């Protein structure tokens, strides 16, 4: 299965890159083309190969490590100034976005007769939160129903945030091109056009960041009403932001060449999106019926409502600069694909700092509100 999985992953990446360049008016799907191609290839390939999704799960985890570590190290250069300027606003936004999704889920439960366990899963799927799912299925006898709701609701959640980010970027070019005060902005294209030589990556220090991140992510903090765990994504993000901002520590050098980090980021991203599509394509497409379309519609509503509330409150009330706000929205949605769309659509890596600052608080919100949903339902 190993060689088949690798072939399918890179074949879907190849098709996705072609698909991502297509435009409809001002809009294009960009990096999410790999997700779409992965879904289609996964559905087709399952009819010819004995595909084991566990193989794609390994690539999924590995790709997340590559992507999140790279974006964390890139964001670490600006995270201090961003936190100093916006600080508590990211805390508010992280909890507000997850609370909005929680509220929308409750409202939909009152307006429909859908299985309540499906709804719990849909909530985590709509906000693309695997730690939220882990919290939801902890100590429950209905884990299969919750997982089903998450699996069906995840793709609409991903698509909602990706397409929202591209749409906002396409119709707000003048505001998004504004550079936040007191923050050094380095557009992605400038990092690749630089004539400076590229320094070789320090694998010793890079491995140290990954190891510490995984250890942090696997720490379980037992609180009275729930158990908090950052998971690999959260742990590696925290580790990358922390050590990247330090630059040096003892024998470790955390100053990495940005061009190399962008290369790692892009590779991890495409592997990530491809593996999501391949492992979900068959189950999502082959189970399409009125019931699953109903679930997908619920997920889409929850995701769009959360994005709309976060965007409106963040811009109108919290006065967060638009380019940073886009990153913060994807952090509030705990959406790695959304972050990739924000980077791609704005051509401005400062969005990563907004994502990194908001993500931890959104993660706590997801775990907390999942526990509350379990008590209510």
| Torsion sign over Cα 34, 171, 183, 100 | negative
What 344-348 contacts at long range (C-beta under 8 Å, 24+ apart), as own/partner pairs, is 344/30, 344/31, 345/30, 345/165, 345/166, 345/169, 345/170, 346/169, 346/176, 347/187, 347/188, 347/189, 348/176, 348/185, 348/187, 348/188, 348/323
Instruction: Tell whether the model's pLDDT for residue 232 goes beyond 90.
Output: no
pLDDT reported for residue 269: 80
Tell me what percent of the residues of the chain surpass a pLDDT of 90.
Answer: 23
Residue-wise pLDDT tens digits, 50-78 = 666 556 778 878 888 898 888 788 878 77
- 268 Cβ neighbours under 8 A, 6+ residues apart: 63, 64, 65, 66, 67, 68, 70
Instruction: Tell whether the model's pLDDT for residue 143 goes beyond 90.
Output: no
Residue-wise pLDDT tens digits, 168-218 = 887 766 555 544 444 443 343 443 344 455 678 889 999 999 999 999 988
For residues 111 and 302, the answer to whether their CB atoms sit within 8 Å is: no
pLDDT reported for residue 186: 38
304 vs 230 pLDDT, higher one: 304
pLDDT band at 355 (very low <50, low <70, confident <90, very high): confident
> Rounded to an integer, what distance in angstroms lies between the CA atom of residue 66 and that of residue 14?
19
Closest CA to 71 of 340, 255, 347, 360: 340
pLDDT reported for residue 348: 82
End-to-end CA distance of the chain: 41
Q: How many residues does this entry show for the chain?
A: 377
173 vs 32 pLDDT, higher one: 32
pLDDT reported for residue 297: 93
Tell me what percent of the residues of the chain surpass a pLDDT of 70.
Answer: 84
Please state the rounded mean pLDDT for residues 122-149.
77
Structure tokens at 318: 């919290």
327 vs 247 pLDDT, higher one: 327
Summary mean pLDDT of the chain: 81
Closest CA to 166 of 35, 273, 22, 326: 326
Angle separating helix axes 33-45 and 2-20, nearest 10 degrees: 140
Instruction: Tell whether the model's pLDDT for residue 284 goes beyond 90.
Output: no
123 vs 25 pLDDT, higher one: 123
pLDDT band at 83 (very low <50, low <70, confident <90, very high): confident
Q: Any idea where the domains of the chain sit in the sequence?
A: 2-376
pLDDT reported for residue 225: 61
Q: Which range in 80-84, 157-161, 273-277 is most confidently predicted, on average pLDDT?
A: 157-161
pLDDT reported for residue 205: 93
pLDDT reported for residue 280: 72
Residue-wise pLDDT tens digits, 86-129 = 888 998 999 999 999 999 999 999 998 888 889 998 998 899 88
pLDDT reported for residue 52: 60
What 320-323 contacts at long range (C-beta under 8 Å, 24+ apart), as own/partner pairs, is 320/86, 320/89, 320/93, 320/354, 321/178, 321/180, 322/172, 322/175, 322/176, 322/178, 323/176, 323/177, 323/178, 323/179, 323/180, 323/348, 323/350, 323/351, 323/354
For residues 14 and 251, the answer to whether their CB atoms sit within 8 Å is: no
Structure tokens at 26: 């001002």
């Amino acid at each position: 299965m190993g060689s088949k999985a690798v072939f399918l992953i890179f074949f879907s990446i190849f098709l996705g890159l072609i698909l991502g360049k297509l435009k409809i008016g001002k809009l294009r799907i960009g990096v999410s083309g790999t997700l779409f191609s992965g879904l289609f290839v996964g559905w087709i390939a399952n009819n010819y190969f004995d595909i084991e999704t566990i193989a794609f799960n390994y690539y999924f985890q590995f790709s997340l490590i590559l992507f999140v570590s790279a974006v964390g190290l890139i964001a670490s250069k600006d995270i201090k100034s961003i936190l100093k300027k916006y600080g508590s606003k990211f805390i508010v936004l992280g909890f507000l976005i997850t609370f909005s999704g929680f509220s929308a889920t409750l409202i939909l439960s009152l307006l429909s007769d859908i299985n309540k366990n499906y709804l719990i899963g849909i909530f985590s799927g709509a906000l693309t939160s695997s730690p939220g799912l882990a919290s939801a299925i902890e100590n429950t006898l209905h884990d299969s129903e919750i997982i089903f709701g998450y699996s069906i609701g995840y793709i609409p959640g991903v698509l909602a945030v990706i397409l929202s980010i591209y749409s906002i970027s396409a119709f707000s070019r003048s505001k998004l091109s504004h550079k936040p005060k007191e923050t050094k902005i380095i557009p992605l294209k400038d990092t690749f056009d630089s004539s400076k030589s590229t320094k070789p990556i320090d694998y010793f220090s890079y491995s140290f960041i990954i190891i510490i991140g995984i250890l942090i992510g696997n720490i379980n903090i037992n609180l009275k009403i729930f158990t908090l765990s950052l998971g690999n994504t959260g742990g590696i993000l925290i580790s990358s932001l922390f050590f990247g901002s330090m630059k040096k520590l003892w024998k470790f050098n955390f100053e990495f060449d940005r061009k190399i980090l962008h290369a790692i980021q892009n590779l991890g991203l495409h592997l990530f999106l491809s593996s999501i599509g391949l492992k979900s394509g068959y189950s999502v497409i082959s189970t399409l019926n009125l019931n699953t379309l109903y679930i997908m519609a619920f997920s889409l509503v929850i995701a769009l409502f959360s994005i709309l509330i976060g965007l409106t409150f963040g811009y109108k009330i919290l006065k967060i600069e638009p380019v940073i706000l886009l990153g913060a929205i994807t952090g509030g949605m705990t959406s790695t694909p959304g972050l990739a769309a924000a980077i791609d659509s704005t051509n401005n890596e400062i969005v990563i700092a907004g994502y990194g600052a908001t993500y931890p608080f959104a993660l706590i919100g997801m775990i907390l509100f999942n526990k509350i949903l379990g008590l209510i339902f």
